[in-house]
């Protein structure tokens, strides 16, 4: 075979590969893995996005809950999928916290094993106290914790969640000793909070909105860098004496790292279109969330910094996996 023949063969191979790369996608229903049980915040936004993307594009998207191991089981399923039609909903815990919290046995590394399609939305937590508590500000809580080391309690409904780690962050930043009290879910936690058996709770704002409206609970700080539009009168933790404090729940669409770049781009563009719809923005705002569409590169830069931040909190607070 002479040089001209080799070049022509190579060119033909390149054309074949290019044509294959441009084949229509999807060619079957898309599976959207939700790494948590039905009914939670990640489940709700995942199903909302599946419906919106389907309506915009005509794709069939089937949402499938695969909970377990703090979200690791579902995300690992996405990372290992080979069918070219599996995507998943990542979020703060399973992408940014778990690489450190489950360092000994996490089966995937997000930056290596996943294609980061787009960020979806972010939502802060809100620190609340009971109506009859003596605390009016976060600084009141900190002052009491300094006066009575280890006696004030901060509750959370799940190990390694933003609700948990934001309390650890406050304790680290203020250099106080809070007794962190774990609960399995928010139901009994809220009951004990209202009964005065707990001092502080970093809560999902949607979960406590009704009790804030009735005055049963009092909001003293939000965990985002900026104030919440839904609670504009409540200061941020940063405004309460801890500059730079920022701890939010966020979600982001991911796919296997082997997903073709053209498909990632196609998904990214569809997500951006969905998040710009007025009804989607209004629904997110009603949940205390902000849409955060991004490019894949922006998602990667953000996730890199989040893994570093939450890893530091897990190590310094000596948080252990369940």
pLDDT (tens digit, 9 = 90+) per residue, 165-200?
999 999 999 999 999 999 987 888 999 999 999 999
Shared domain for 107 and 151, answered yes or no, is no
pLDDT reading at 227 higher than 90: yes
Which of 203, 222, 241 is where one domain is finished?
Answer: 222
CA distance 36 to 71: 6
Query: What is the predicted pLDDT for the residue at 184?
Result: 83
* pLDDT over 80 (residue 1): no
Does residue 178 belong to any structural domain of this protein? Answer: yes
> Whole domain around residue 187: which residue ranges?
126-222
Same domain assignment for residues 47 and 117: yes
Query: 293, 75 in Cβ contact below 8 A?
Result: no
State residue 239's pLDDT score.
Answer: 98
Residue 254 sits in a domain whose CATH number is 3.40.190.150
| Within-domain flag for 7 | no
Residue at 233 is within a domain? no
Side-chain half-sphere exposure of 151, counting CA atoms within 13 A: 8
Say yes or no to pLDDT of 20 above 50: no
Q: What is the mean pLDDT of the chain?
A: 92
Query: Are 253 and 303 within one domain?
Result: yes
Q: Does residue 24 belong to any structural domain of this protein? A: no
- Band of residue 22 on the pLDDT scale cut at 50, 70, 90: low
DSSP 70: G
Tens digit of pLDDT for each residue in 249-280? 999 999 999 999 999 999 999 999 999 999 99
Element (H, E) at 41: helix 41-57
Instruction: Give the predicted TM-score (pTM) of the model.
Output: 0.88
Q: What is the CATH number of the domain that holds 180?
A: 3.40.190.10
The reply to whether 208 and 267 lie within a common domain is no
**Do 183 and 271 belong to one domain?**
no
Q: What number of H helices and E strands is found in the chain?
A: 12, 11
Q: In this structure, are 136 and 178 located in the same domain?
A: yes
Domain identity same for 92 and 143: no
Strand segments, DSSP code E, in 96-241 are 114-124, 126-130, 153-156, 179-182, 200-203, 217-222
Q: Considering the domain boundaries, does residue 16 fall inside one?
A: no
Provide the percentage of residues in the chain whose pLDDT is more than 90.
84
Whether 79 and 118 share a structural domain: yes
Three-state DSSP class for 217? strand
Q: What is the pLDDT of residue 11?
A: 47
130 in the same domain as 112: no
Domain boundary among 173, 207, 222: 222
> How many structural domains are present in the chain?
2
């Amino acid at each position: 075979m002479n040089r001209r023949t080799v070049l022509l063969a190579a060119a033909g191979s390149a054309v074949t590969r290019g044509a294959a790369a441009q084949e229509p996608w999807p060619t079957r229903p898309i599976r959207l893995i939700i790494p948590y049980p039905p009914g939670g915040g990640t489940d709700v936004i995942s199903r909302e996005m599946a419906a919106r993307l389907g309506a915009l594009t005509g794709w069939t998207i089937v949402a499938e809950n695969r909970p377990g191991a703090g979200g690791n089981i579902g995300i690992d399923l996405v990372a290992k999928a080979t069918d070219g039609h599996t995507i998943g909903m990542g979020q703060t815990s399973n992408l940014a916290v778990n690489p450190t919290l489950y360092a000994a046995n996490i089966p995937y590394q997000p930056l290596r094993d996943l294609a980061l399609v787009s960020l979806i939305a972010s939502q802060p937590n809100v620190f609340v106290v009971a109506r009859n508590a003596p605390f009016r500000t976060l600084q009141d809580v900190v002052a009491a914790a300094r006066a009575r080391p280890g006696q004030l309690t901060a509750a959370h409904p799940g190990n390694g969640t933003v609700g948990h780690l934001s309390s650890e962050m406050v304790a680290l930043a203020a250099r106080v000793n809070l007794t962190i009290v774990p609960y399995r879910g928010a139901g009994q936690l809220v009951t004990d909070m209202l009964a005065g058996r707990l001092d502080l709770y970093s809560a999902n704002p949607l979960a406590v909105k009704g009790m804030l409206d009735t005055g049963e609970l009092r909001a003293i700080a939000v965990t985002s860098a900026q104030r919440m539009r839904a609670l504009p009168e409540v200061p941020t933790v940063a405004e309460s004496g801890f500059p730079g404090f920022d701890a939010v729940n966020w979600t982001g669409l991911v796919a296997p790292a082997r997903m073709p770049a053209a498909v990632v781009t196609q998904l990214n563009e569809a997500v951006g279109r969905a998040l710009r719809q007025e009804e989607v923005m209004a629904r997110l705002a009603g949940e205390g969330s902000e849409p955060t569409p991004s490019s894949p590169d922006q998602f990667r830069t953000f996730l890199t910094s989040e893994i570093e931040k939450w890893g530091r909190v897990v190590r310094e607070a000596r948080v252990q996996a369940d």
